[in-house]
Amino acid sequence: QVQLVESGGGLVQAGGSLRLSCAASGRTFSNYAMGWFRQAPGKEREFVTAIDSSGGRFDYSTSVKGRFTISRDNAKNTMYLQMNNLKPEDTAVYYCAATGRRSDYTRLSGYDYWGQGTQVTVSS
């Protein structure tokens, strides 16, 4: 089925920036809503942000609003997460997800396809 591959994670100092990418397989990328989730050790996977298939609707968690920006380039089958002013509490494995369904894009159950994740570590 659809394959998603995240990249761009790494170790950064608090206040720094990273840009994550999620490359998707398939020829119908433009029909999928996309989301980013993150999971810290011992914690549940949580919603970060999402973008609909047209790129016209956005959702952000309260904890990242104003610091993170989601975008997509359908011609490249790629979604991005620009992360600025990173904080130690942002440390987690970040996952991209996709769905062709009309669903609640803020919930895990709203997605059908998941990447393997990329580690983001923010030091103080």
Is 117 in contact with 93 (CB distance < 8 Å)? yes
Q: pLDDT band at residue 114, thresholds of 50, 70 and 90?
A: very high
Mean pLDDT of all residues belonging to the chain: 94
Is 79 in contact with 8 (CB distance < 8 Å)? no
Amino acid sitting at position 123? S
Determine the Cα–Cα distance for residues 50 and 105; give it in Å rounded to an integer.
6
User: pLDDT tens for residues 11-35?
Assistant: 999 999 999 999 999 767 888 999 9
Contacts of 65 (CB under 8 A, 6+ apart): none
Determine the Cα–Cα distance for residues 63 and 77; give it in Å rounded to an integer.
27
